[in-house]
Structure 1
């Protein structure tokens, strides 16, 4: 009688790491592309649709130039272009690291449930900060936040 192969702990661990490693590969390719193709030169990237339709900056406006500045080792310029994106990159790296460790450890990390890696209150707080940033950067006293 032939039975199906079952994955051992090593195979299950490798399979669980495919998603975080795939995300890291895709993000790395995107960052490499943005680092190679200057978003500050006209014609390489489309204009922000929100900016084009309303004349107002969205929370992501200046984000590509921020990544470009960071790739080229200029964090001061990155903070000047879009401080929200510049400060969120380390947060995303930490969250990706937690996800990878959770996948490596079999779904739990320090007793946290397998299905949730970030408490919903943090997600709602982040969204609220993003909306405040979005509004303030379009007001006269917040023009220093414009790209």
Structure 2
């Protein structure tokens, strides 16, 4: 059942009582947040990570006693996927990519991937592009997350086998 058309009403549609429908305001998009608000989160994360990198660069994790030992390594003798990550950050802070890759190649690749995602986040914030959920923004479906988890598991298993000794920090 359609409503009768009223040429005097906006859009030519009348209400069930026969009165003209109230005018519909033009759709307006919300003005973007101020630049400082948009940049607060990405720049805050960058500042926190830079401070951590400076701290790890200044205090060598290769010297015993500065950082706690990995509990998995300490109690089982097995290397977790994060073992060598601090040594990798220390080497990167000193510009030594080869040593960082030798300490934990997976962590170094993860640091690079995070830097790319962070740069995209910063660009979106600068351009005032509306925020979207992180997984959909980067096209990561559940299958991608399972594949990433499988890669971390494979890395962990291989680095603890005799033929994977090159992956030991």
TM over 0.5: yes
- Which residue number corresponds to residue 89 of structure 1? 111
- Which residue number corresponds to residue 4 of structure 1? none
- Which residue number corresponds to residue 68 of structure 1? 90
Query: TM-score, normalising length from structure 2?
Result: 0.73
Q: Distance in 1 between matches of 2:45 and 2:67?
A: 22
Count of residues in Structure 1 that have an aligned counterpart in Structure 2: 136
When residues 8 and 14 of structure 1 are mapped into structure 2, their CA distance, relative to the original with a 3 A threshold, is: farther
After TM superposition, the structure 1 = structure 2 runs for residues 57-136 of structure 1, keeping only pairs within 5 Å, are 57-108=79-130, 114-116=132-134, 117-118=137-138, 119-120=140-141, 121-136=143-158
SS in 2 for 1:82: helix
User: CA contact under 8 A between 2:82 and 2:107: conserved in structure 1?
Assistant: yes
- Which residue number corresponds to residue 59 of structure 2? 37
Q: Aligned match of 1:9 in 26, 32, 48?
A: 32
Query: TM-score, normalising length from structure 1?
Result: 0.83
1:100-122 alpha-carbon deviations (Å, 9 max, x no partner) = 122223344xxxx7123331343
User: CA contact under 8 A between 2:103 and 2:167: conserved in structure 1?
Assistant: yes
Q: Distance in 2 between matches of 1:73 and 1:114?
A: 34
Unpaired runs of 5+ in structure 1? 1-6
